[in-house]
Structure 1
Amino acid sequence: MPVSYREIAADLRLQISEGRYQPGDKLPMLTELQEQYGAGYQTVRSAIGLLEQEGLVVAIRRRGTIVRERPEKRRITRTRQVYRDEIGYYFDPAAQSWVAVEPPTTRWGAVPVDLAPVMGLNIGAEVLVRDRVMGEGETRRAMQLATSYLPADLARGTQLAEEDTGPGGIYDRLEEMGHRPLKWQESVSSRMPSPEEAAALGLPADVGVPLLRIVRVTTSPSGQVVEVNDTRMSAELFEIGYDIQRSPSAETDPHAADT
């Protein structure tokens, strides 16, 4: 039975994973792969195309197919705590020093379909949208895209809708409006970036690099959702880390009776 392009891709992927082909190495030419796997040109080309989509290799003109260099990942530690400094609340100590590398934008628009039920809004409901591009102050390199969505009836006519929300940002304003103390919940997922997101974060256009997505829901003591923050960053550059603690059920030594 002829070998499929998926089987060829799986074998090459394994060799890359095991280090037989390392970052910067050149894969065999297509004609060599055809002979090696006993497959046709299109089958081999489809296998290489699949590895390109996965971000494992990149085709470089006049060089061939090269195993991609993968950046060392930075850990984002989610400690299930909220912090505060002189600027206001923040959630990731590693990103505390990041600044807006582009002027923030504010606009009115429709709530994203996937966030409408989270916010308790109908599809198409109007929300205030606040976009920020955050990154390193020295290099001005964009590290994350952060978008806040606030219900229109809550934000309209308030400082929340101003470009400059003042000291402490939107969370201090919300608490001053009677929603103190705010509470937060987060969920982590991933998806592929839009062309605009890829360009803003400097992601390679010729390979598939997914986004790491953290959606934070802000609620008032009454349970009203007053803001949803959608943060996106390169899943190739960042990973989520956290400590694992024993629950009371795991505190007892199961081997104690054997001694």
Structure 2
Amino acid sequence: MARWHEIAHELRAAIAGGEVAPGDVLPRETDLQERYRTSRTTVRQAVAALEKEGLVEKVRRRGTVVRRPPTRRRIPRSRRVHRDAIGYYFDTAAQGWRPLEPPAVGRAPAPADVARALDLAPAAEVVTRSRVMGDPDSGDVTQLATSYLAPTAVDALPVLAEPDTGPGGIYDRMEDAGYGPLRWEEAVSARMPSPDEARRLGLPPGVPVLRITRITRGADGRALEVNDTRVSAERFEVVNEIDRDPTAAPENPEAPSGAPVRPAGGARADR
């Protein structure tokens, strides 16, 4: 790995873990040169990589500042969880995907948004379960998924930190232990990939990842796990079926199927 990659990786981790907060100014180039014992060109390459990923920005008379993400507006959409002989899955398109490598189980600081979801202090260390998923026949990698597990859940269920958690996976173990019935909520966002994500997913330069963040809650509402799934935004799109709410019932139920329905008052139907 090139030296500037190493520096960018360390700075990126500090931002993700909340060690360097939004609005904070990165050290000056000369300070980074001294810290990493490298050239100005190398430092500039590292900072430029973070800028391309949208993590930092140059602010006149201040320096390089960690970007403060805008407040994200939530748009609730109905979703459905499925189950087959292997366990739970959340997308019918992904039912045939399988782990292409053994799960990587370890400990790492939780990213800032994950720590908030789990009600933990910034950069708190948690057990992580990382998986590379894809087509078992072709070996094509389709998604990267990392589970961040609440320490209270791991303390109660040490099997969650084992590579093999048994039939049905971590969700069956949680429900077997009385945490269920589990429920989930999900958010979809986009960001530029890290170099490792771009390599594993085969992303060409400039292609972002879709980040699907799913929170698993127990029956008491406490967050037990945050699952962070990344897929190529070039290869995949999120699609939701739209059902009619009772307020959107056709004015004329006898109208032929496919006939246009005029909303009351002439309001736009596609708002």
How many angstroms apart in 1 are the aligned matches of 2:232 and 2:243?
28
Residue 183 of structure 2 is matched in structure 1 by 183
Q: Is the 8 A contact 2:127 2:151 kept in 1?
A: yes
Residue 164 of structure 2 is matched in structure 1 by 164
CA change 1:162–1:256 in 2 (3 A) is: closer
Mapping for residues 123-134 of structure 1, pairs under 5 Å: 123-134=122-133
Q: Is the 8 A contact 1:126 1:151 kept in 2?
A: no
Residue 249 of structure 1 is matched in structure 2 by 247
Q: Which letter maps to 2:238? A: I
Q: Which letter maps to 1:214? A: I
CA change 1:140–1:246 in 2 (3 A) is: same
Identity %: 52
Task: Identify which of 232, 235, 240 aligns with 1:234.
Answer: 232
Q: CA deviation at 1:121?
A: 1.1
RMSD between aligned residues: 2.0
Q: CA deviation at 1:153?
A: 3.0
Q: Is the 8 A contact 1:133 1:144 kept in 2?
A: yes
Q: CA deviation at 1:111?
A: 1.1
Task: Identify which of 213, 216, 222 aligns with 2:214.
Answer: 216
Q: Deviations over 1:104-154 (max 9, x none)?
A: 100012111121111111112221100000000110111000000001232
Matched, 1:154 2:153: yes
How many angstroms apart in 2 are the aligned matches of 1:201 and 1:81?
26
Q: Max radius of gyration: which structure?
A: 1
Q: Which letter maps to 1:168? A: G
Structure with more contact order per residue of length (Cα contacts < 8 Å, sep ≥ 6): 1
How many angstroms apart in 1 are the aligned matches of 2:263 and 2:194?
55
**Ranges in structure 1 where 5+ consecutive residues have no aligned partner:** 1-52, 54-77
Task: Identify which of 203, 218, 225 aligns with 2:223.
Answer: 225
**Ranges in structure 2 where 5+ consecutive residues have no aligned partner:** 1-51, 53-76, 252-260, 266-271
Residue 7 of structure 2 is matched in structure 1 by none
Residue 11 of structure 1 is matched in structure 2 by none
How many angstroms apart in 1 are the aligned matches of 2:245 and 2:123?
43
Q: Is the 8 A contact 1:181 1:221 kept in 2?
A: yes
More strand by share: 1
Structure 1 length-normalised TM: 0.66
Q: Which letter maps to 1:136? A: D
How many angstroms apart in 2 are the aligned matches of 1:80 and 1:124?
30
